A and B are shown apart, each in its own frame.
Chain A
Amino acid sequence: MWQKLFDAPWPDAENLLPMPVQEQAAEKIRGYWRARGWQLVLGEAVIWIAATYQGVPSAKGYGLLALLIGVAYVLGFLRAPFTWLMGSSTLFLLQAIVVEGIGPVTALTFIMPYTFAGMLLSGRKRVVVQSWCMVGFWVSLIYGVLPGVPQLAPPNHLIISYDILLAVFTFQTLRFLNHLTVAINSAYVTEEIRGQSQHFLARVSHELRTPLNSVLGFAKLLGHRELGERERRYVDQIIEEGEQLNRLVSDLLDSSHLSTGNMTLRLEACDINTLCQAVAEEHRPALKDVRLNTELAPMPPSINADPIRLRQAVGNLVSNAVKYTSQGEITLRTYQRGQLIMIDVRDTGIGIPATQQALVFLPFVQLDDRRAGVGLGLDIALRIVRLHGGDIRLHSVPNEGSTFTIELPLTPHP
């Protein structure tokens, strides 16, 4: 058994992020820079033509060089934002000083945003980069039209403005792309981990049931024999705990099958009130200080559902209510609202704070881990109800109680 257990594939790092995904991401990024390259080629070509038309030789030179950078991006020689920005700004600086004859300090003020952007983008402060670029854009635009300031030739401040706008746009796209890649990767990885761990879970569950077979089977046979009072208590305890463990294994498997979409419903005509009555009868014997009431409204005779699974879902909600209610009452109520069948499970238990209400349906989440179980009941209930095309709503006030409402579409059995 143990050998079998250890043979089960363990989710390891190698399996989590298969190379194809990384390659896909890399290809996306290459494609992105190729697209930026084309953008630069087209943008700079426009400036170059405008400069030629207006007879500004320096802009023409700059535009031509920028055009070459764009081609380099398209061909895949350049692909990082840092080189992109530093390349552009260095070019601009050179042409402003050498060709235009502007003093280095003045030229620097024009390319400041560029330089900063390039430097910062190699780090992680993208918001700072964006702010800098926006500031740079407006400064250069205003600076370009202010009287009495050593001016660049008219189109040049437009060049800067254009390039800075392009840079801002680039950052934003880059940021979006980065988010997208991370999202795609993590979704893929999550699915992979999930697939692996579900397989693992199925193996472990099987291996847990095998020894349970002996524990429960022999204990029950022992229970059939003549036993002293003390022995009987011991045996009953073994059986009770064994059954508890068996239920846990079943829950783990159900949760696993539900989350991988491997559970199929066996739909048949299902009478909701009979089902709720059965759930109530099942839970009543275990209750001491809490009353379990049913308020069952007249219903259509049956809906199209899987009675075993639906009973499990309602049963899980009731078990949950029982677990968190020490006094007062639990009410199982059915009613019809339009085309929906509603099943309320209302308790006078400890309630759930608003901030934690979204968490309770997650697997393995328990708000109070002193209670029995591992926190799969609500997850299983929600998934079963959703598989039926319905949903579960939660209304809860701390220290007053909770109401879980199952909504099921009223689909008659064909």
Chain B
Amino acid sequence: MDTILYVEDHPPARMLMEAIFHDLLPQTLITAANGEEALAKAREQRPALYIVDLDLPDTDGIALGRALREVHPAPIILVSAFAEAITPEVLADVAQAYIPKPLDPDYVAEVIRRTLA
């Protein structure tokens, strides 16, 4: 089964994504709290998909997205509470999809299925 890496510094948000996967999706979710950890896990586990929060302590989601693609290429979904910060150009450049916070579990599941299809 596919592994999906979620990069998010906020523990409750990681918990929610784990719950969404537990309840709605068959894939295995691994998480990272910052860019460094994310790059290490991407190298080791070679995930099928990255879900990256835009606002991270040591980097931002866009730069991290580019770095992750270098380490192990896979589609990227950006997540952010700042819907306003993401322009279509940025999205087209680094990510396949964008999910605004607050996360809607059904929408998250749908976007992940679509991106992996």
Residues on A close to B: CB < 8 A? 202, 205-206, 209-218, 220-221, 224-225, 242, 246, 250, 253, 257, 266
Contact = CB atoms under 8 A, between A and B. Distances in A.
Given A220-B106, A221-B105, A224-B24, A213 B82 contact: no
Contacts of A246: 102
A209 B19 contact: no
Contacts of A216: 102-104
In the A-B complex, list the 7 residue pairs whose CB atoms are closest, starting with the nearest.
Answer: A209-B81, A217-B16, A213-B102, A216-B102, A212-B102, A214-B12, A213-B101
A210 B15 CA distance: 13
Contacts of A224: 23-24, 105
> How large, as a class, is the contact surface on chain B?
20 to 34
Contact of A206 (B13, B16, B81): B81
B10 interface: yes
Interface in B13-27: 13, 15-16, 19-20, 23-24
Contact of A266 (B15, B24, B88): B88
B84 interface: yes
A57 B57 CA distance: 84
A213 B13 CA distance: 7
B23 A217 contact: no
Contacts, number: 58
B81 A210 contact: yes
Contacts of B105: 217, 220-221, 224
Contacts of A214: 12-13, 15-16
Contacts of A202: 82
Interface of B: 10, 12-13, 15-16, 19-20, 23-24, 55, 81-84, 88, 101-106
Contacts of A210: 10, 13, 81, 101
Nearest to B8: A213
Contacts of A250: 83
Given A209-B81, A253-B84, A266-B88, A218 B16 contact: yes
A308 to B, nearest CB: 11
Contacts of B12: 211, 213-214
Given A206-B82, A210-B81, A214-B12, A242 B23 contact: no
B19 A218 contact: yes
A199 B84 CA distance: 13
Contacts of A253: 84
Nearest to B108: A217
26 contacts: A202-B82, A205-B81, A206-B55, A209-B101, A209-B102, A210-B10, A210-B13, A210-B101, A213-B16, A213-B81, A213-B102, A213-B103, A214-B12, A214-B15, A215-B102, A217-B102, A217-B104, A217-B105, A218-B16, A218-B19, A220-B105, A221-B16, A221-B20, A221-B23, A224-B24, A225-B23
